[in-house]
Amino acid sequence: MREDGKIDYVEFPAADLPAVKDFYSAAFGWRFVDYGPGYAAFEEAAVDGGFNGEPEEPRPLVILYAHDLEAMEARVKAAGGVVVREIQAFPGGRRFHFRDPAGNVLGVWSET
């Protein structure tokens, strides 16, 4: 069951999606679900995640879960986080990105 504020998803940049899918499939047995030509989600890796062929930043993105996305955004701001990508929809839900005081960018997503 998904819980507020827990790591729920990890997204990696990948310039060559076919090559990265072949590698992780052969090396670790991961399976993939394609969401268009620029994104492939992975399964069988203990935590869900995906490879983004069109990343905004060239580093992994850890994504937390929230039952109430607007309430979690307010909590992030109140704690000193800076929203760097406003709430927007994607296939499967909505999410926003924020920068923590150490400069790390994380995302928070919700199914609604």
- For the chain, the residue count is 112
Q: What is the pLDDT of residues 50-68, one digit of tens each?
A: 999 998 888 999 999 999 9
Which of helix, strand or coil describes residue 12?
Answer: strand
Q: What is the pLDDT of residues 66-111, one digit of tens each?
A: 999 999 999 999 999 999 999 999 999 999 999 998 888 999 999 9
Pick the CATH number of 7-110 from 3.10.180.10, 2.40.160.40, 3.90.550.10, 3.30.565.10: 3.10.180.10
pTM: 0.82
Which is it for the CA torsion 85, 1, 12, 18, positive or negative? negative
